[in-house]
Amino acid sequence: KEAHATQKTLQSLSSSSQEGTEKVINLDHGDPTMYEKYWMMMGERTTVVIPGWYSMSYFSDIKNLCWFLEPEFAKQVIRLHKAVGNAVTEGRHIVVGTGSSQLILAALFALSPKDGSEPMSVVSTAPFYSSYPVMSNYLKSGLYNWAGDARSFNKEGPYIEFVTSPNNPDGFVRHSMVNRTGGILVHDLAYYWPQYTPIPSPADHDLSLFTVSKATGHAGTRIGWALVKDAEVAKKMIKFIELNTIGVSRDSQLRAAKILEVLTNTTEKHGSSDSGESFFEKSYHLMAERWRLLRAAVNNGRMFSLPDFAPGFCHFLQQETQPQPAFAWLKCEDDAVEDCESFLRGHKILTRGGRHFGVSPKYVRISMLDRDINFILFLKRLSKIQS
Ligand code: PMP
């Protein structure tokens, strides 16, 4: 029945009129606008009103190591991780950041020795998140610098390894690659949420990063958080944020706290008659549908291929689930196409090519989180290219 439905959808895609052929479809960034629909449906429940006199001080909580952390935001982070079962929060310091981007830089600052004879090496396994090399190098820091693909890293001495799981861009579950003493791991868990990947157990690392951008789709709120075991590392990260932005917008934290609160309320109802509202269930089904349609469109021809993933048991959804990443890691199989990004740009589809991620230009990364209208247009165009 499902195969029949997919076939019908694809037929209607390829036989549809010229509608939208001129429009440029920008799937370069992972802008999570797909989630707007859900939050619209939630109506006033996440509306936050902040009076003019409120949260004026620089300080949120002077008793906390992280003095700019809003207690309500911290409370909702803990509650959410407990409900989803994707991270241990006991014995961790929460450090809030202006997006997890600021926390990536804070971690680099905190983990690099201040008196090292040379900059600390920063590595990640290719294909790696394209911002790691740029962020590591753009200030030409004496503390750290980018040392490339973790797979081929063989320099003696300490290093920082970013472990992104599930990985951006290719969606695979990742573990540390270098595996040597002297290595410090930063687990970037931006996509460790049930709509993207099975959740087998709570992450229990020394330093993990999360962000509302990919969890709920509120990228514009610019809020991320780190779970940090070692108080000294947390202190240095806090120092970095102090020097960088003297804290993190309290208004944004209050808004994020409200969104996380409502989100967790919907997960607690999950499995009951109210589960139609469950954010993660709804988003999981939406992603499943998008991946089903994309795979059908790709399998309709021989020009492109997608990675294959193994299913796993998700303790949150209480069922076996498929990985369905926030990005499609598409490969151009056609021998005549060397540079897949340019090829697709020729068809007015903007993507990010493999070179940005340390691999061949035969690959491109495509956002799966855009609004329905753009995603459908993208499928139509892909079907047309293949026909
Ligand atoms: N880490 C990874 C792996 C990401 O994909 C992103 C967003 N593209 C970030 C960190 C940064 O996200 P933000 O600053 O919006 O929290």
The pLDDT assigned to 58 comes to 98
**Range from 14-23, 111-120, 329-338 carrying the lowest mean pLDDT:** 14-23
ipTM of the predicted structure?
0.99
Q: Residue 20 pLDDT > 90, yes or no? A: no
Determine if ligand 1 sits within 6 Å of the CB of residue 244.
no
Superfamily of domain 2-39+275-386: Aspartate Aminotransferase, domain 1 (3.90.1150.10)
Give residue 43's region: left, alpha or beta (phi > 0; psi -120 to 50): left
**What is the mean predicted confidence (pLDDT) over 124-132?**
98
Which numbered atom of ligand 1 lies nearest the CA of 100?
16
Gyration radius from the chain CA atoms? 21
**What is the mean predicted confidence (pLDDT) over 366-374?**
97
Q: Where are the domains of the chain?
A: 2-39+275-386, 51-268
Determine if ligand 1 sits within 6 Å of the CB of residue 30.
yes
Q: Using alpha carbons, select from 271, 256, 275 the residue that is nearest to residue 80.
A: 256
Determine if ligand 1 sits within 6 Å of the CB of residue 98.
no
Mutate to test the pocket of ligand 1, among 211, 216, 244 (most ligand atoms within 8 A of CB): 211
What pTM was computed for the model? 0.95
Q: State the Cα–Cα distance between residues 175 and 178, nearest whole angstrom.
A: 10
The pLDDT assigned to 275 comes to 46
Q: Residue 21 pLDDT > 90, yes or no? A: no
Per-residue pLDDT tens for 33-61? 999 999 999 999 999 999 999 999 999 99
Q: Give me ligand 1 centre to Cα 103, in Å.
A: 10
Per-residue pLDDT tens for 251-291? 999 999 999 999 999 998 655 545 458 999 999 999 999 99
Residues β-bridged to residue 227: 94, 208
Question: Would you say domain 51-268 falls under CATH 3.40.640.10?
Answer: yes
Q: Residue 7 pLDDT > 90, yes or no? A: no
Q: Give me ligand 1 centre to Cα 199, in Å.
A: 19
Contact 227, 208 (CB under 8 A): yes
Q: State the Cα–Cα distance between residues 227 and 80, nearest whole angstrom.
A: 13
The pLDDT assigned to 4 comes to 66
**What is the mean predicted confidence (pLDDT) over 298-305?**
95
Mutate to test the pocket of ligand 1, among 101, 132, 193, 249 (most ligand atoms within 8 A of CB): 101
Determine if ligand 1 sits within 6 Å of the CB of residue 166.
no
Q: Give me ligand 1 centre to Cα 209, in Å.
A: 9
pLDDT band at 181 (very low <50, low <70, confident <90, very high): confident
